[in-house]
Structure 1
Amino acid sequence: MNSTEGLYPFSLTPEQEERARELHESSIIIDLLFQGPLSPKAIPDAVSESIREACEPYKEDSWTYSAMPSKIIHDMAARGEIAEFKEEWYRSGITAGNRQLDVSSVEKILISMGDIQRQFDANDWLVKAVTAEQIRAAKANGLKAGIVTAQETDGLGKNLELLEAMYNFGLRVLQLTYNNQNYIASGCMEEANGGVSKFGMRFISKMNELGIIVDTSHCGKQTTLDACRLSTAPVIASHTGVEAIFNHKRCKSDEEFQAIAATGGVIGVFAMPWFVHGDPKDTTIEHVLDHMDYLVRLVGVDHVGIGTDWPMSDVAWSLVYFKEHIAPRIGFAKGDGPSTETVKGLEKYSYFINFTRGLVARGYSDEDVRKMIGGNWLRVFEAVCG
């Protein structure tokens, strides 16, 4: 990447540009909903077309057809067949990003464990981080850290031994529910604002005991408030937005943010065009920074982070298919789901320095920038996981 590619026009002075570059290069940077490092704009067209040909025989099975491209991409990356997998991560400057387990069923848990472990085994520059010190060591040694996370709990049923097994594998961040109702709690797309169940109380207690961070991103309001009341450790929202700026069910209220902050937790702002601004085709990184600014004013800089959740490690044609055929079946409103739009200034993960540049442009101190681009996540990770 050349020195100016992907730089958002913040109109920084040369001195500010140099300061932002030095900050970005020297800081521990954590994206706690890191769908990358690849994205449709980073995957060569020839690779995208070869994946389409491989998936075509499965088009009658919409779930399989939708999921295949991402799996193929990760398989190719693990075999070293997509050089951009490593290149994009290193160009981004991100020290640690999550590697996500699928916990929708027991079968999916086993499959995704194998897929994630293969990433670690196949790439000597990528280490599984289960403690804060391992993240620091990755930075010091020029490596990248993967944090094992999950966004749903359905596949666990009421089996707390299975939760412990996932912890032993490396799981360190777990969302209580993904949009909908489960044994543990109500999601943000449920009409009934049910909160945490009696079993959910036991579940949160077990997470605290093991050292797994409680994530409330897709949870309903009462679930978020209950989790903050019940947890003895910091609670987070790894990827969300500010309801007062853009009133969407995936965004949260001031009351929820204040409850999360009161636990010592952190709110990660996402970079999903449909959830941060009214026009997804004209959403910029400035709009994302607006959400971060609001949170700093509301709860303080110690409780604000980044969890982009976008762009996906996928190809464009697959994302369009997902929006049309899959998203409405997992709790998204019609037409309101991931597709090909991206935040201007984060079309590729290699443009991640725009967060640092944007925070510098808005007048934040070096210390505050370091906190928001990774230091706050590291603090919570150390407090809960060790």
Structure 2
Amino acid sequence: MGTNKQYKGYKAYEYLEAGVDYRSFELCDGDKIFPEYLIPLKEEQEERLARLARDTICISIHEHPVLFPKNLMRDVFEFNREGRQSCAYEELSRSYWDCVFDNLMDGTCTIHSKAGWKWSEVLHDLGIRLCDLAQQDFIIRCERVEDIYRAHKEGKIALVPVIEGAAPIENELDRIDILYGFGVRVLGITYSESNQLGSGLKEDKDGGLTAFGHKAVERMNKVGMAIDCSHVGIETTKDVIAHSTKPIFMSHVGAKALWDSKRLTPDDVLKACAEKGGVIGIEAAPHTTITKDNTTHTIYSYMEHFEYVKDLVGIDHVAFGPDTLYGDHVGLHHAFAAHLSTKSTQGNTNEFEEVEYVKGIENPTEGSKNILRYLVKAGYSDEDIQKVMGGNVLRLLKEVWV
């Protein structure tokens, strides 16, 4: 039932009066899909695509499924300080996703501060978004694996709240329990910069998982919270994989062998993650998953990373975490370059072409459609498509979530 979404028209925060109860902004047009960037299929392939989109449980393990301001460079700083991002309900209803891991405001969570990542800001962001979810009946707040199956069956979308980095917990292990109690089911170890748990990927020196980090990993294992190492230093990631009793996510990464940047992952780390049962999601944020042979970021360079990682670790350990949003993603990276560590992690910027948008995988709606179209055109079997579109993630969650 993945393509028969039961969306009834709810818009974010419509239970309040815009301009009276909160400051409103003109938001972007939503899920622009350019037909020329949809991967072409033959008639019989289109029929197979329709069947797979209907019957397959499709999960994105990393997105920001919200609408950003139409005039992003003018409004985004005030928009973020308002602390009221708008879930793109209608746009998501046109996607193939049955479950979306929502990473909230991540590195741009500057509601009360300049640098972000404060405990009060994270809870503010999470609470506002969950309050909005409670007003509608299309998005299911996902806390158990059963919620994903239910969403697919009922034509709804299961939304998993995620915090990308653990800096807000500071040195308080019980804050992991608090986040779990508030619905967070995935927590990143670091977000590029080092914190109490370990080293981030932007650092020149990686000291590995700290003593507190070891305790935090143990607590996440005990409470049933999945661990993510997408923005984590290499040595720290290896330590997490070794110390965790449960498989982990690398929810939005790519292969460093295809493009030399700190943001992408070396082969030995990808293998280590898979060997412990982990799942690797392929990243599509602007100028990440490009390759030496294709320096323009498109759906095709993105899927090169998928093919490489799949061949390296096996099809049972690969999934999709496109890390897309609705709005000017490149502009957002420019505006928050320091917070998002884009300049210090994406490699030699003189060696690739900056794009206005990533053609064919610019937002969650377009990405869901083109990824499946690629897999159909490439001749993947139904079984393998079901694995990478959601089955591999479900297997990991059944081991990790309680």
- Distance in structure 1 (CA, Å) of the matches to 2:193 and 2:396: 26
Alpha-carbon distance in 2 for matches of 1:217, 1:108: 22
**1:29 maps to which residue?**
58
Once the two structures are TM-superposed, the CA of residue 37 in structure 1 deviates from its matched residue by 5.3
Provide the C-alpha distance between the structure 2 equivalents of 1:335 and 1:190, rounded to a whole number of angstroms: 9
Contact 1:37–1:89 at 8 Å: present in 2 too? no
Alpha-carbon separation, structure 2, partners of 1:356 and 1:27: 10
2:141 counterpart (121, 128, 148): 128
CA contact (8 A) 2:101 2:160 kept: yes
Residue 48 (structure 2) aligns with = 19
Q: What SS does the corresponding residue of 2:194 show, helix, strand or coil?
A: coil
**Which structure features the higher share of helix residues?**
1
Counterpart residue identity of residue 277, structure 2: G
Structure 1 residue 101: Cα displacement: 4.8
Q: How far off is 1:96 after superposition?
A: 0.8
Supply the distance in 2 between the matched residues of 1:8 and 1:102 (Cα, whole angstroms): 28
Q: Deviations over 1:177-211 (max 9, x none)?
A: 00011110101111002110111001100000001
Counterpart amino acid of residue 366 in structure 1: D
Aligned pair 1:327/2:343, yes or no? no
Q: Which amino acid aligns with 2:48?
A: R
Q: Is the 8 A contact 2:84 2:128 kept in 1?
A: no
1:86 Cα deviation from its structure 2 partner:
2.3
Counterpart Cα distance in 2 of 1:52 and 1:72:
17
| Distance in 2 (alpha carbons) for counterparts of 1:342 and 1:330 | 17
Q: Distance in 2 between matches of 1:206 and 1:115?
A: 26
Q: How does 1:293-308 map to 2 (within 5 A)?
A: 293-308=307-322
Equivalent positions of 1:1-386 (< 5 A) are 6=35, 8=37, 10-36=39-65, 38=67, 48=70, 55=75, 64-65=77-78, 67-68=80-81, 71=83, 73-74=85-86, 85-101=88-104, 104-277=117-290, 282-310=296-324, 312-314=325-327, 316=328, 320=331, 322-333=332-343, 341-351=356-366, 352-386=368-402
Q: Is the 8 A contact 2:186 2:226 kept in 1?
A: yes
Partner Cα separation in structure 2 for residue 22 and residue 342 of structure 1: 29
CA contact (8 A) 1:37 1:349 kept: no
Aligned-partner Cα distance in 1 for 2:132–2:317? 31
Contact 1:7 1:354 in 2 (8 A): no
In the superposition, the TM-score normalised over structure 2's length comes to 0.81
> What is the CA–CA distance in structure 2 between the aligned matches of 1:319 and 1:9, rounded to whole Å?
20
Alpha-carbon distance in 2 for matches of 1:64, 1:101? 16
Please report how far the alpha carbon of residue 329 of structure 1 lies from its aligned counterpart in structure 2 after TM superposition. 4.7
Task: Kindly state the Cα deviation for residue 93 of structure 1 after the two structures are TM-superposed.
Answer: 1.3
Segment drifting more, 357-366 vs 300-309: 357-366
Structure-1 separation of matches of 2:397 and 2:220: 13
* Aligned-partner SS, 2:281: strand
CA-atom RMSD, angstroms? 2.7
**C-alpha distance after superposition, 1:135-173 (max 9, x if no partner):** 101111111111011111111111111110111111111
Give the conservation status (yes or no) of the 8 Å contact 1:126–1:143.
yes
Q: Percent identity?
A: 30
SS of residue matched to 1:374 = helix
Q: Whole-Å Cα distance in 1 between the matches of residues 387 and 301 of structure 2? A: 20
Rounded Cα–Cα distance in structure 2 between residues aligned with 1:329 and 1:219: 15
Kept after mapping to 2: 8 A contact 1:37/1:88: no
- What are structure 2's unaligned runs of at least 5 residues? 1-29, 107-116
Structure 1 residues 331, 272: closer, same or farther in 2, change over 3 A? Answer: closer
C-alpha distance in 2, partners of 1:380/1:6? 35
Using the alignment, how far apart are the partners of 1:230 and 1:289 within structure 2? Answer: 31
Q: Is the 8 A contact 2:139 2:159 kept in 1?
A: yes
Contact 1:235 1:260 (8 Å CA) reproduced: yes
TM value normalised by structure 1: 0.84
Q: SS at 1:259's partner residue?
A: helix
Which one-letter code corresponds to 2:70 in the other structure? S
Q: CA–CA distance in 1 between the matches of 2:218 and 2:233?
A: 19
Distance 1:9 1:152, change over 3 A: closer
Identify the structure with bigger relative contact order (alpha carbons < 8 Å, sequence gap 6+): 1
Alpha-carbon shift at residue 233 of structure 1 (Å): 0.2
CA distance in 2, matches of 1:229, 1:295: 20
Q: Is the 8 A contact 1:102 1:108 kept in 2?
A: no
Higher mean Cα deviation, 221-230 or 97-106?
Answer: 97-106
List runs of 5+ in structure 1 lacking aligned partners. 41-46, 56-62, 78-84
Other structure's SS at 2:185 match: strand
Distance change >3 Å, CA 138–CA 241, structure 1 → 2: same
In structure 2, do the counterparts of structure 1 residues 301 and 122 end up closer, same or farther at CA, with 3 Å as the change threshold? same
